[in-house]
Structure 1
Amino acid sequence: MSAALVCCDLDRTLVYSANALLLEGEDRMAPALAVAEVYQGRPLSFLTRGAELLLAEVAAACTFVPVTTRTVAQYQRIRLPGPPPRYAVTTNGGRILVDGVPDPAWTAHLWQKLVSRCSPLAEIAAELARPEYAPWLLRLRDAEELFIYAIVERDALPAEDLAGLELWCAERGWTVSLQGRKLYCVPEAITKEAAVAEVAVRSGGSPLIAAGDSLLDRGMLLAADHALRPAHGELEAAGFRAPQLAVTAARGVLAGEEIARRIHDLVFGEPAGPVEARPAAAASRP
């Protein structure tokens, strides 16, 4: 399956913050970790050494596309193994990067859809700034003027507030997704699956292998020939299943390694051998 197109979400699918590692048992039994992101001079995100080696082989053998809700600047902090990807999808599908540069044709196409189908971002921002939300909404940010996300106090967020916001946004062509302490409000016109479909046309990659953990990944997973998700996250909480979907046995960063191994097996058509036996050079970074 060397012609495969492999599209993977990043956070809590392939890379994990310290709080998301979900490591259990004795510390001496923890897997070796590789740093995937540095922020303000400190390591912020990680993947296992095993996942790093497996992904390096995958990226060298097929079209590997990182697909993330991160903005371009946030994505550029990530260092994945293998050659620099020709394509990347950032900002939840709002940007397609070609050799690291946002593609202007995709941006123009998307703006036309936003203007015709969705309420303006300022209207959504004004709703989120209501005083009633102050007890649980800590900070509000916009992502490249494409969508909005808020840092929330999750324990203080009433279920009725979330349900009401979901309904209000849906009436205006926007979706709501709660991921950890981040609440995303995203126009329906901006989706990962639409950007992945465009990349598939440009790259000629087939079949599609996809992995993700959040509700924002659902459409991409449904569009895939082979889909993977970890046994944690929004999709796990929602009990999401599909005929072509496999769910990991592991949780946390070990689920990331399991996903990398399953992708490797699909791409090469055979089970991967022990990762410890591979030379370290296989995980060379750009």
Structure 2
Amino acid sequence: MIFAADLDRTLMYSKRAINELGEPKELDLTPVEKKDGYWVAYMTTSSFQALKELSQQHLFVPVTTRTTEQYNRFVIFPEEISIKYAITSNGANILCRGIPLEEWSEHINTRLQSESISQAELRSILHGAGFHFDGQMRHAGKQFFYYILNNLPSASDKKVINELVGKYGWRISLQGRKLYFIPKAINKGSALEYICKREGMKAIAGAGDSILDWDFLQNCQYRFVPRHGELAGELTTTKFTLTKKYGVSAGDEILQQFLKLLPLKT
């Protein structure tokens, strides 16, 4: 059986996220991501053990907006947690045992050329409409870009921006201080559906915190959303389970739910 989950602010939490979400200091944490020689992201030790046990008997698919390079900073994959497939760059890439699937990359490139304008054209339109973002811009390869903002947009500005870019085959997602601009052709749902068909299996359970995660959660029979996430405040449907806890504790709660749904052989 397949289970899939977003990583950042769903199962794994940076030091900034842990501090922002007010985690109690007595939590037992396991480091999972290393950058420049330093540990920068964590899971609770109990959620780490649960994920390790589940991935030994079921097919776990990490689903992330991170680029492949950023995803590879999670040193637990595949050293301690077995991974066959991983979805990176919000669905632009599917890794099979760490190697990008060329047929999927070609499929995405074809869709991008026909369904959306370029990054440069979109930024020009945004500037022409009077939108200037206070923060650092980052490119996620050739697929999309995002800003690490000093000041967050208002709800009304966010709505206007999304409607504007939607006319050109793009959409936005605000995750913490990161404002993502992503072509609609790139989505996690299509990538997970491709893996399911390739394996001849269904996705039983999934979890994610952002609007971008709803694409793949719709392919899952059971859906879990952290109470602190972007999705929690945006969705009007009731077809998902909201965690009772916030922050890294929500990640632990999600994996305990996965354990109930996905039986382990003893």
TM-score with structure 1 setting the length: 0.85
Which structure has the higher relative contact order (CA within 8 Å, separation 6+)? 1
Question: Which amino acid in the other structure matches residue 79 of structure 1?
Answer: V
User: What is the aligned partner in structure 1 of residue 101 from structure 2?
Assistant: 103
Among residues 112, 118, 140, which one is paired with 1:114 in the alignment? Answer: 112
1:261 matched to 2:256? The reply is yes
1: CA distance, partners of 2:92 / 2:65? 9
2: CA distance, partners of 1:201 / 1:167? 33
Alpha-carbon offset, residue 132 of structure 1: 4.5
SS in 1 for 2:112: helix
Identical pairs, percent: 34
Q: Is the 8 A contact 2:23 2:247 kept in 1?
A: no
Among residues 200, 213, 216, which one is paired with 1:204 in the alignment? Answer: 200
Among residues 145, 149, 152, which one is paired with 1:152 in the alignment? Answer: 149
User: What is the aligned partner in structure 2 of residue 10 from structure 1?
Assistant: 7
Q: Is the 8 A contact 2:60 2:83 kept in 1?
A: yes
2: CA distance, partners of 1:191 / 1:145? 15
Q: Is the 8 A contact 2:4 2:207 kept in 1?
A: yes
User: What is the aligned partner in structure 1 of residue 223 from structure 2?
Assistant: 227
2: CA distance, partners of 1:257 / 1:186? 29
1:238 matched to 2:234? The reply is yes
SS in 1 for 2:218: helix
Alpha-carbon offset, residue 190 of structure 1: 0.5
Alpha-carbon offset, residue 153 of structure 1: 2.0
Q: Is the 8 A contact 1:7 1:67 kept in 2?
A: yes
SS in 2 for 1:225: strand
Per-residue Cα deviation, 1:79-119 (whole angstroms, up to 9, x for no partner): 34744311000000000001101111100011111111111
User: What is the aligned partner in structure 2 of residue 141 from structure 1?
Assistant: 138
1:35 matched to 2:28? The reply is no
Q: Is the 8 A contact 2:4 2:203 kept in 1?
A: no
Q: Which moved more, 1:44-53 or 1:79-88?
A: 79-88
SS in 2 for 1:154: coil
Unaligned runs of 5+ in 1: 271-286
Alpha-carbon offset, residue 186 of structure 1: 0.6
Among residues 30, 35, 51, which one is paired with 1:55 in the alignment? Answer: 51
Among residues 82, 86, 89, which one is paired with 1:84 in the alignment? Answer: 82
1: CA distance, partners of 2:264 / 2:129? 55
TM-score with structure 2 setting the length: 0.91
1: CA distance, partners of 2:213 / 2:30? 25
Larger gyration radius, structure 1 or structure 2: 1
Unaligned runs of 5+ in 2: none
2: CA distance, partners of 1:130 / 1:161? 15
